[in-house]
Amino acid sequence: MKFPNVIGRRELKNAAVIGSVAGLAGVLFFILILSSMSPSNDQGQQQASSGKGEEEVIPVQSSTEAGVIEDDSSVGFFANQYGVFKSRESAQDFISEYPTLNTSATVEVDGKFYVWSSISPIREELIISETPTSFAKSFKLSAAACTEETLKGLPTILESNDPSKFYFQDGNVPDNIPQDWQSITSALSSFSQDLGIARLHLITHYFENNDCMKIEF
């Protein structure tokens, strides 16, 4: 079967020209779309870069400017805790029920009364009890607000496990120790040589008698 030759050279040329024009128009249209999109991208990049610039120039407020005291006189401890009570009388009633707590102390913090039997800077040194039940309660003793040097250095002194830092022979008390320290430790040594118990009663005494001393949980 023969097909008629219906497409001449002129038609081929016209088709080629039309195809070229259409292709060029498509390219131009694509370029226009890209051009219309680029300003928003540039604007977004400028906003991002300006945002970064703002983050870099914002001054960082120091803790001193924010009114926060840098606590260089704070030391962490662990207390052997038996309970928390709403009143000192309730805490004392609880202690009286157990002869093993005859050397314990009641420590008032933020209106709550904690029964502790000893304090150590090392958790493993505490002797946890089953009857009555006790556990290790972590806290920080801070003297950062104290202006008196003998008080300011107390947390560091109480952190020591060296008995010579607690008990002084022949009244040779260092100048960085509070004046009533010797009388307290002498009374404590009459019924216990345990540093954990001595540390407990010293912390309780100085915390309760000096508002600048803080216990923080």
Residue 96 in any domain: the answer is: yes
Is 176 part of any domain?
A: yes
Q: What is the radius of gyration, based on Cα positions, of the chain?
A: 40
Task: For residue range 68-97, list pLDDT tens digits in order.
Answer: 444 557 999 999 999 999 999 999 999 999
The reply to whether 102 falls in a domain is yes
What does residue 188 show for φ and ψ, rounded to 5 degrees? -65, -40
pLDDT of residue 172: 83
Domain membership of residue 53 (yes or no) is no
pLDDT of residue 169: 80
Taking a C-beta distance cutoff of 8 angstroms, is the pair 207, 110 a contact?
Answer: no
Is residue 62 in some structural domain?
no
Please enumerate in sequence order all residues whose Cβ is within 8 A of that of 25, keeping only pairs 6 or more positions apart, or say none: none
Q: Which residues of the chain have pLDDT under 70?
A: 1-72
Question: Where in the sequence is the domain holding 119, given as residue range(s)?
Answer: 74-216
171 within domain boundaries = yes
- Per-residue pLDDT, 65: 37
Residue 79 belongs to some domain of the structure: yes
In a domain, 203, yes or no: yes
Q: Can you give the pTM of this predicted structure?
A: 0.67
30: part of which helix (H) or strand (E)? helix 9-57
The closest of 95, 104, 74 to 213, measured between CA atoms, is: 74
Amino acid found at 44: G
The predicted pLDDT at position 73 comes to 77
Whole-number pLDDT of residue 10 = 58
Per the structure, how many domains does the chain have? 1
